[in-house]
Structure 1
Amino acid sequence: MPTTEQAHASFDVRSKMAAGLPSPAPEWGPIPRYSFVGGNNDSPSVPVGGLAEAAVNAINKHGPALATYNLGGNPQGYDELREFIAANLAVEPALPISADEVLVVSGSLQALDLVIETFVEPGDVVVAEEATYGGIISKLTRAGAICEPAQLDDDGIVPEALDGLLSRLASQDRLPKLIYTIPTVQNPTGSVMPVERRRELLRVVRRWDVVIFEDDCYADLAWEGDRPPAIAALARDGGDVGRVVYCGSFSKSIAPALRLGFVVAEPPVMRQLVALKDDAGTGAVEQLILAEYSSAHFVDHVRELRATLREKCRVMRHAVATHFGALSAVAIALGGPVQVTDPKGGIFVWLTFPRGTDTARYLAPAAERGIQFNEGAAWSVDPQWGARRMRLCFGSLSHEDIRAGVAALAEVIAAA
């Protein structure tokens, strides 16, 4: 029989953990110089001075209310912030709502969790764009859902292809409850769905009686053309109230670490979301500061941020064309050039490599050179379809590091 000391030394706590957990997180380390991963943004553009002033003003005015959960008010979030969100959405993307239809959440990831928990049961089918946010794929998988890919083109979901997919799923008695889409500055492609395409999409989902979950987290960063009305706005205009659940975020427009997002939903869905949001409220200090800052500065700040990111995108696309184009060493090694999207906003470019390429095989050699990127399989509903693709974030890097990092990545790929 082992001694007490031996028993303690041999105890493996992992044997007590639940089955089916995701892979453990790697050990943390400093962000490499050439990190093209994640949704990090331009650090000089964070409005530090404005947020500091707003923090002092907000806490001086409302500090005593921090003694109570939800500032002693609505569990849907701080009233002034929800009122700002409603007023802002009425202008862009032309979504007229009341503050009572807004739920403030701890980043859009919490919005995904709450909406998935509200609508999705194990075994349910959910349709998402064939290239999409990796977080929705992992969360749906964890919820026991089956994710089906909707075909994309340069304007977003192809309505005819979606209609065919829903017809096939209905014939198999697998019709989804939910379609997840990022129509404005799609992640990872950067496309913006035109207004008529949005109307066509609504006609398809009405035919099959499916709910749309519209993720507009990058929409504030659209820099090309006028921002289209939200699908949720078009649904209301067409008398289809309640068909669309909408979410947005301040992570990309203000700062990712702020962790503030919001959901817009009709009363039946809103009451259910509030019941599921059992965290005693999203951080109140953050809400106070954001409301104080945004009421006076949000529009001007976003205008400047769009210009900054548009220029970074230009630098990134030029670097990719130089080092991955038809005459590059990469094209010679792989038997053809790499195609790159022309985003209409946001912080990403999406690369498509020649057939037979698996970008995951470059992860390890790139890491040895201090380079990080997102392999396409993790951002695709069908990993085999996504294997020859790659997502690069240009939001947080300087122009110099974008150029140098893309050149270094090209060297890794050509050598591999």
Structure 2
Amino acid sequence: MMGRLGKVISLGAGLPHPDCFPVKSVSFDYLSPESNFESTDKIEVPDNEALYEALQYTSGRGTSYFDKYCRHHIEIHQKPKYNDWDIVVTAGATQSLEAVLRLLCNPNEDTILAEEFTYPAFLECCNPMRLKVFGVKVDQHGVCPKDLDQLLTNWSGEHKKPKLIYTMPVGQNPLGITMTLERRSEFYKVCQKHDLIIVEDDPYYHLQLDSKQKLPSLLTFDTDGRVIRFDSFSKIMTPGARCSIVTANQTFITKLVVHNEVGIHSSAAPSQLILHELLKTWNDEGFDKWVEHLCDHYLKRRGILDDAFNKYLDKSLCSWNLPDSGMFLWIEIDQSAYPKPANVEEHQWPAQLEDMIFNESVSNGVLLAKGHWFMVDQNLQKVGFRATYAFAEENELVAASQKFGQALKSVHEKLSAK
């Protein structure tokens, strides 16, 4: 195949010859926007330059065509205010997060911030680097800027002042809350004031369910190059592709490309090929239709779960939110409704109550995620559970709600009987 190395004959590159690749074409069926995603068409990728690039060693930036598409995607949806920005394709947001932490943080030395309930994989990335994480208060509108400002203004003690804050501004995992437009502006200004780098993990950006006009990324407020944004195809296309986009200032991106080259080398190029061919075939209009289709799908499921909660969950024992984005809602347990055994210490009671409800739920045949799995501070005096309307079948959402409601009542009855 001509053009791979131009006019230069290479005896130096350690690349296998394409004759040694057993894959000679790729084809797959896809849901078609023309049929409102009710029927399929076929994409065939023959033995051409795109396939060759997907099968060969590729750049730390990703394949040339997917790199170009991802930049186009950011320009349409999240373009920052400054010009010196760039993107790199990575192997999912968790790998991106690990790379960013290694780039910016000194192990066993630096301090970083996150919402008081946060994505567990973020905490798992911090642990081996021995980074100290502090939680920031949130309410139904997202991070509380005044609390963040007060925390940083009055920072003292043995730990270094934080240099970085990790946030999920849309459909936050696990709370399901979304940072309002006003909050985003206030939050960015506080981060400017204290020179905080913002890591914006936004896998649910396109799953803003209740609004056709999407809230803008924190990247669109960025004038300083302080926002590092993660976009993911996992929640809107396929998690197994392990493809995501990091957008940041050029200095950061250059370093992250090098990190790829000495780590993962690149995100899986065959995944990039499949995503690119599909998105190219759909074009921007088809992608928008797909996102609308997904939002309708999750809106229906959210409604089913909320209706079932209203029917089966005792509101004297718990409350829950109705998220306008993402896949998750948060169930807050009213601790005061559950009698605390006399032999249990006050500070230990929230975790013990949560364990009791969790174990009873599993015994009843339903699994929810415990709130303590997401807490930055394990001593936070709260009890809650994350539920998702994304995966279970629609009839199972109703059955699970009934089983969880029974578990809440059963634990309450056992404690009241003591």
Distance 2:392 2:83 in 1: 38
Asked whether the 8 Å contact 1:86–1:96 carries over to 2, the reply is no
1:313 to 1:94, Cα distance in 2 relative to 1, 3 A: farther
1:92 equivalenced with 2:72 (yes/no): no
**Among 132, 147, 169, which residue is 1:146 paired with?**
132
Return the TM-score normalized by structure 2. Answer: 0.78
1:130 to 1:111, Cα distance in 2 relative to 1, 3 A: same
Task: State the structure with more CA Rg.
Answer: 2
Distance 1:288 1:170 in 2: 50
Alpha-carbon deviation of 1:354? 0.8
Alignment-derived partner of residue 337 in structure 1: 317
1:249 equivalenced with 2:236 (yes/no): no
Alignment-derived partner of residue 263 in structure 1: 246
Structure-to-structure mapping, 1:170-189, within 5 angstroms: 174-189=160-175
Letter in 1 for 2:103: T
Moved more, 222-231 or 102-111: 222-231
Alpha-carbon deviation of 1:151? 0.7
Letter in 2 for 1:120: C
Aligned-partner SS, 2:45: helix
Distance 1:60 1:322 in 2: 57
Structure-to-structure mapping, 1:392-403, within 5 angstroms: 392-403=387-398
Paired residues, what number? 354
Alpha-carbon deviation of 1:82? 2.4
Asked whether the 8 Å contact 1:96–1:233 carries over to 2, the reply is yes
Letter in 2 for 1:354: D
Distance 1:190 1:123 in 2: 31
Asked whether the 8 Å contact 1:169–1:175 carries over to 2, the reply is yes
Alignment-derived partner of residue 17 in structure 1: none
**Among 295, 309, 314, which residue is 1:325 paired with?**
314
Distance 2:217 2:98 in 1: 21
Alignment-derived partner of residue 15 in structure 2: none
Identity over aligned pairs, percent: 23
Alignment-derived partner of residue 30 in structure 2: none
1:212 to 1:163, Cα distance in 2 relative to 1, 3 A: same
Structure-to-structure mapping, 1:15-414, within 5 angstroms: 53-54=42-43, 56-57=44-45, 62-70=50-58, 74-95=59-80, 101-121=86-106, 122-169=108-155, 174-225=160-211, 226-236=213-223, 240=224, 242-277=225-260, 278-295=263-280, 296=282, 297-326=286-315, 336-355=316-335, 357=350, 358-385=353-380, 387-414=382-409
Alpha-carbon deviation of 1:92? 2.4
Alpha-carbon deviation of 1:315? 1.2
Letter in 1 for 2:61: Q
Moved more, 115-124 or 206-215: 115-124
Return the TM-score normalized by structure 1. Answer: 0.79
1:387 to 1:58, Cα distance in 2 relative to 1, 3 A: farther
Letter in 2 for 1:135: A
Asked whether the 8 Å contact 2:51–2:273 carries over to 1, the reply is no
Asked whether the 8 Å contact 2:81–2:221 carries over to 1, the reply is no
Distance 1:152 1:375 in 2: 18
**Unmatched tracts of structure 2, length 5 or more:** 1-32, 336-348, 412-418
Q: Deviations over 1:368-389 (max 9, x none)?
A: 3432211001112122327501
1:379 to 1:168, Cα distance in 2 relative to 1, 3 A: same
1:93 to 1:100, Cα distance in 2 relative to 1, 3 A: closer
Q: Deviations over 1:174-202 (max 9, x none)?
A: 21110001112222222221222111111
Distance 1:245 1:293 in 2: 27
Distance 1:400 1:308 in 2: 15
Asked whether the 8 Å contact 2:133–2:376 carries over to 1, the reply is yes
Asked whether the 8 Å contact 1:375–1:387 carries over to 2, the reply is no
Alpha-carbon deviation of 1:89? 2.5
Asked whether the 8 Å contact 2:96–2:246 carries over to 1, the reply is yes
Asked whether the 8 Å contact 2:314–2:405 carries over to 1, the reply is no
Distance 1:211 1:123 in 2: 17
Q: Deviations over 1:242-291 (max 9, x none)?
A: 21111110000112222211211212111211222222221111000101
